[in-house]
């Protein structure tokens, strides 16, 4: 069995520039991977079938699964006769703004590239990934990047300064499409993407904290007040900065010291079931 790690992402910034004629939004986002990851196991099948099984209980195990779509895309594009059984050990909360499905699809592309001896470059895998979802190309590369277009154009950036990341997910799932739809383009408060990039280049922790911003946050908070409630409490318990990731509902916060990490973690655990304390990953994925 071949195992591939599929890490979650967080959005350090998420800006929307305009709505495109194809109904996607033109975005500008700084994204980075964190050490909260699904594990994808891949096994060769001689019968040509793609089969999915998952530890989650809630993600679909058929053609709706993004890992299944990734496998079929590779199989059809390169006329592969072999198949694969794909085991998904789910650690990343589902529909949480952490790109769990996209990361599973990206890991499947990287893994099957090896299992089926395709020798495709990472850029080719990222290009294919864009056909599955806007976040898949970033997840193919991992690390830290500026994503533009509908999210599929990737420019690599330096890793963020080291710190702890606390993630808290209220008990609800969010539809990304609905949140983008709810955005009022006239009243957007744009984050300072350039300043965030400068913070990464200079490894300036406090500038990174100051530059966090996500235009979807107010939309999700107005539909789900729990998200704002969690963010408020995270800040009150002592994180240096906090923000909702992607379309939500997960909120992340940064701290430097382990003692503060414990205080925030324990405080949040009092009323939120799903809380994680992880490190940024920093490093980009290599080919499997
Ligand atoms: C908001 C973000 C931020 O990283 O992440 P999540 O909250 O999903 O993790 C992404 O833009 C989500 O990317 P992803 O989840 O891959 O989206 P897709 O499957 O491509 O699109 C789902 C739907 O979201 C809307 N969408 C997505 C991307 C984009 N740039 N503009 C959009 O309007 C469209 O309505 C689309 O039909
Ligand atoms: N491998 C997968 N893991 C998680 N969700 C998946 C997967 N494949 C398809 N999905 C579907 O994709 C939707 C979004 O899930 P996910 O990628 O976890 O969230 P987000 O887009 O908020 O980051 C869910 O409704 C889920 O049913």
**171 plus 146 within the same structural domain:** no
What value of ipTM does the predicted structure carry? 0.98
Q: Is 246 annotated as a binding residue?
A: no
Residue that finishes a domain, picked among 156, 185, 207: 156
**6 plus 137 within the same structural domain:** yes
Q: How far apart are CA 207 and CA 198, in angstroms?
A: 8
Task: Tell which wins on pLDDT, 272 or 288.
Answer: 272
Task: Kindly give the distance from the C-alpha atom of residue 10 to the centroid of ligand 2, in angstroms, as a whole number.
Answer: 15
The total of structural domains in the chain comes to 2
Q: Is 100 annotated as a binding residue?
A: yes
**134 plus 250 within the same structural domain:** no
90 a catalytic residue: no
**146 plus 16 within the same structural domain:** yes
Ligand 1 pocket test, candidate residues 176, 180, 221, 249, most atoms within 8 A of CB: 176
Residue that finishes a domain, picked among 156, 176, 205: 156
Q: Is the CB of 85 under 6 A from ligand 1?
A: no
Residue 161 has pLDDT above 90, yes or no: yes
**135 plus 251 within the same structural domain:** no
Q: Is residue 145 part of a domain?
A: yes
Q: Is residue 62 part of a domain?
A: yes
**59 plus 127 within the same structural domain:** yes
**140 plus 216 within the same structural domain:** no
Residue 288 has pLDDT above 80, yes or no: no
Residue that finishes a domain, picked among 156, 174, 203: 156
Q: Is residue 246 part of a domain?
A: yes
**152 plus 169 within the same structural domain:** no
Residue 153, Cα to own-chain centre: how many angstroms?
Answer: 15
**131 plus 225 within the same structural domain:** no
What CATH number does the domain containing 192 carry?
3.30.70.890
Q: Is 83 annotated as a binding residue?
A: no
Quick: pLDDT tens for 98-141: 999 999 999 999 999 999 999 999 999 999 999 999 999 999 99
**145 plus 237 within the same structural domain:** no
Ligand 2 atom index nearest CA of 52: 1
**239 plus 110 within the same structural domain:** no
Contacts 24+ apart (CB under 8 A), 69-75: 69/105, 69/132, 70/104, 70/105, 70/106, 70/108, 70/109, 70/112, 70/128, 70/129, 70/132, 70/136, 71/108, 71/112, 73/128, 73/131, 73/132, 74/109, 74/112, 74/113, 74/116, 74/118, 74/128, 75/50
Ligand 2 residue neighbourhood (C-beta within 6 Å): 59-60, 64-67, 88, 94-102, 104, 176, 246-247
Q: Is residue 43 part of a domain?
A: yes
- Provide the whole-model pTM: 0.98
User: Which pLDDT score, from 0 to 100, does residue 283 have?
Assistant: 86
What CATH number does the domain containing 142 carry?
3.30.230.10
Across 22-28, average pLDDT: 97
Q: Is residue 286 part of a domain?
A: no
Q: Is residue 287 part of a domain?
A: no
Q: Is residue 232 part of a domain?
A: yes
**12 plus 133 within the same structural domain:** yes
171 a catalytic residue: no
Q: Is residue 288 part of a domain?
A: no
- State the ligand closest to the CA atom of 100: 2
Domain holding 233, by residue range, is 164-279
Residue 282 has pLDDT above 90, yes or no: no
């Amino acid at each position: 069995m071949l195992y591939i790690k599929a890490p979650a992402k967080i959005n350090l910034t998420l800006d929307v520039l305009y709505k495109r004629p194809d109904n996607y939004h033109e975005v500008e986002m700084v994204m980075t991977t964190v050490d909260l990851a699904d594990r994808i196991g891949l096994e060769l099948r001689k019968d040509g079938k793609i089969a999915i099984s998952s530890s989650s209980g809630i993600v679909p195990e058929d053609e709706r699964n993004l890992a299944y779509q990734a496998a079929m895309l590779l199989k059809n594009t390169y006329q592969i006769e072999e198949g694969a059984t794909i085991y998904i050990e789910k650690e990343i909360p589902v529909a949480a703004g952490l790109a769990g499905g996209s990361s599973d699809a990206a890991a499947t592309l990287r893994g099957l590239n090896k299992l089926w001896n395709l020798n495709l470059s990472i850029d080719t895998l990222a290009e294919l990934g864009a056909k599955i979802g806007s976040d898949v190309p970033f997840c193919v590369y991992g690390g830290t990047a500026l994503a533009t277009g509908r999210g599929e154009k990737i420019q690599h950036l330096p890793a963020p300064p080291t710190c702890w990341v606390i993630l808290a997910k209220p008990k609800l799932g969010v539809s990304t499409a609905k949140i983008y739809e709810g955005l009022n383009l006239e009243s957007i408060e744009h984050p300072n993407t350039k300043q965030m990039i400068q913070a990464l280049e200079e490894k300036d922790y406090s500038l990174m904290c100051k530059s966090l911003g996500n235009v979807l946050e107010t939309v999700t908070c107005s539909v789900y007040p729990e998200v704002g409630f969690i963010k408020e409490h995270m800040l009150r318990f002592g994180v240096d900065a906090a923000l909702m990731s992607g379309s939500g509902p997960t909120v992340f916060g940064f701290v430097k010291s382990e003692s503060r990490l414990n205080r925030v973690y324990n405080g949040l655990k009092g009323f939120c079931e799903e809380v994680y304390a992880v490190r940024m990953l920093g490093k980009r994925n290599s080919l499997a």
